[in-house]
């Protein structure tokens, strides 16, 4: 410990730094064994170092003093991050957590004091951030219990000076790093547990949570099969006004995985039909807003919200005395589906489309087909004057009433649009799906209770292959 302290403090002396004689010693010292340095002394030295050194040294730049670079490498070596995996012990893990905290503090300080410096050195900043995340991955893979503290320290970087590029760069690097993480990684679980509460900026908090959820469900080469039931257990939700801000931001940004996760969390907590009805109304409002302003990447996630709403409606149909509300909500949901099915890009996006540059926020033909197919199925369940469900009208004319709806101006043109898709080359691979939709919607035994089965058959591994669509 005394030798490490001597080297670190000597490196801060102006005469030593100018002579450069210490460089060879520091280079050699990086390869020495530092396992005898205990965490308490290491932390005390790290605190002194963070307070004394120029915080810009954490980012590689042309003017960085070679002494500072070597001292940083020495600190990392003293945290035993270069040791073989079998040599790592609890004491080493403590030092490694201190090392990560040291780096994040230097970065945060840099964001506050040297905004322009970070702007001019963004590629190097990204490299620094990436290395911190790689160290976190290494430490967490050896000790998963260290993961929460490590990720919490990294998230503090997102809370740094908003006038600097640091928060945005940290988000960008984090999202890139997430693409290479296993869905069962303890670091992802720690992020889910903390992002909603530890990240101050509500937009960043929403974006990080959505990005982590996407990473949990990405295809991977290992045998891990992600499941919502396991992932939901790791999410911690903020309370008070913060949760409402997070949800509002998610609606505005099209963060549908987060919204789905919240509904899945909230529904079991409802203690009455009325509470579930309020939750369903909230979800309907979200879908209405989302349908009017599509966001990039949200289309394959929309079926999750469709399904959540249908489950809530099914429960209201069975248990609620207010059946008029059920019918009204179902009709409003049909309106939302039509908005999506008939959506078209604005004039600017039309121009881009004409030259082959379709916006990623546009709803594709596949997404519009799904919305229209679900619209037809659900609209036929409601009688012509929209006062009740056909399935609950126990008279001999129910079949005739269903046929009247099918031949009405609200349904027939949309059935024709579905049939005409078979001549569209974009649908050449799913003619069987189109035929199934036409046949299924004409089935007189259809009920609201079957709606979730209908959407599951259409969506999972047919229109979309995303793993997050598989609901247990």
Q: Please report where in the chains the tokens 């919490």 appear, as a residue.
A: 152
Q: What is the rounded average pLDDT for all residues in the chain?
A: 88
Q: What pLDDT shows up at residue 353?
A: 46
Q: Report yes or no: 102 and 53 within 8 Å, Cβ to Cβ.
A: no
Tokens of 349: 């996006």
pLDDT < 50 stretches in the chain: 346-358
pLDDT tens track for 140-169? 988 888 899 999 999 999 999 889 999 999
Q: What pLDDT shows up at residue 35?
A: 81
Question: If phi over 0 gives left and psi between -120 and 50 gives alpha, with beta otherwise, what is residue 245?
Answer: alpha
Q: What pLDDT shows up at residue 125?
A: 95
Q: Report yes or no: 468 and 217 within 8 Å, Cβ to Cβ.
A: yes
Q: What pLDDT shows up at residue 121?
A: 94
Alpha-carbon distance of 148 to 187, in angstroms, equals 7
pLDDT tens track for 63-76? 888 888 888 998 88
Q: What pLDDT shows up at residue 153?
A: 94
Tokens of 245: 């801000």
Single pTM value for the model = 0.91
Q: Report yes or no: 280 and 316 within 8 Å, Cβ to Cβ.
A: yes
Alpha-carbon distance of 330 to 373, in angstroms, equals 15
Q: What pLDDT shows up at residue 85?
A: 55
């Amino acid at each position: 410990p005394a030798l490490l302290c001597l080297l670190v403090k000597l490196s801060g002396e102006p005469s030593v730094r100018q002579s450069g004689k210490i460089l060879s010693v520091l280079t050699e010292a990086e390869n020495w064994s530092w396992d005898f340095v205990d965490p308490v002394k290491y932390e005390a030295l790290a605190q002194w170092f963070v307070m004394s050194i120029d915080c810009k040294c954490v980012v590689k730049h042309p003017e960085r003093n070679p002494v500072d670079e070597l001292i940083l490498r020495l600190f990392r070596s003293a945290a035993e991050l270069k040791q073989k995996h079998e040599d790592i012990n609890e004491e080493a893990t403590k030092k490694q957590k201190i090392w990560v905290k040291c780096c994040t503090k230097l970065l945060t300080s840099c964001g506050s004091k040297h905004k322009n410096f970070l702007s001019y050195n963004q590629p190097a900043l990204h490299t620094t951030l990436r290395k911190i995340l790689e160290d976190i991955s290494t430490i967490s893979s050896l000790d998963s219990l260290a993961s929460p503290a490590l990720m919490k320290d990294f998230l503090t970087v997102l809370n740094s000076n908003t006038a600097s590029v640091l928060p945005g760069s940290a988000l960008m690097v984090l999202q890139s790093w997430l693409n290479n993480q296993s869905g069962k990684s303890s670091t992802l679980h720690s992020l889910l547990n903390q992002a909603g509460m530890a990240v101050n900026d509500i937009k960043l908090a929403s974006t990080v949570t959505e990005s982590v959820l996407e990473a949990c469900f990405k295809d991977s080469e290992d045998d891990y099969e992600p499941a919502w039931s396991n992932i939901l257990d790791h999410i911690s939700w903020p309370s008070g006004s913060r949760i409402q801000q997070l949800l509002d931001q998610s609606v505005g940004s099209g963060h549908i995985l987060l919204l789905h996760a919240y509904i899945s969390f909230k529904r079991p907590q409802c203690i009455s039909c009325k509470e579930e009805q309020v939750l369903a109304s909230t979800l309907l409002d979200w879908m209405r807003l989302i349908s009017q302003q599509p966001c990039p990447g949200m289309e394959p996630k929309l079926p999750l919200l469709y399904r959540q709403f249908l489950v809530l409606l099914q429960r209201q149909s069975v248990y609620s005395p207010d059946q008029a509300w059920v019918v009204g909500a179902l009709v409003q949901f049909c309106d939302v589906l039509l908005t999506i099915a008939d959506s078209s890009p604005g004039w600017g996006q039309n121009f881009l489309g004409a030259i082959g540059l379709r916006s990623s926020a546009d709803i594709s033909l596949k997404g519009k087909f799904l919305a229209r197919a679900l619209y037809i199925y659900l609209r036929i369940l409601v009688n012509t004057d929209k006062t009740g469900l056909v399935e609950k009208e126990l008279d001999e004319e129910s079949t005739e009433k269903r046929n009247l709806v099918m031949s009405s101006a609200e349904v027939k043109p949309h059935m024709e649009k579905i049939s005409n898709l078979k001549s569209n080359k974009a649908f050449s691979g799913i003619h069987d799906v189109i035929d199934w939709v036409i046949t299924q919607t004409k089935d007189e035994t259809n009920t609201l209770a079957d709606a979730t089965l209908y959407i599951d058959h259409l969506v999972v591994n047919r229109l979309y292959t995303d793993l997050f669509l598989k609901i247990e």
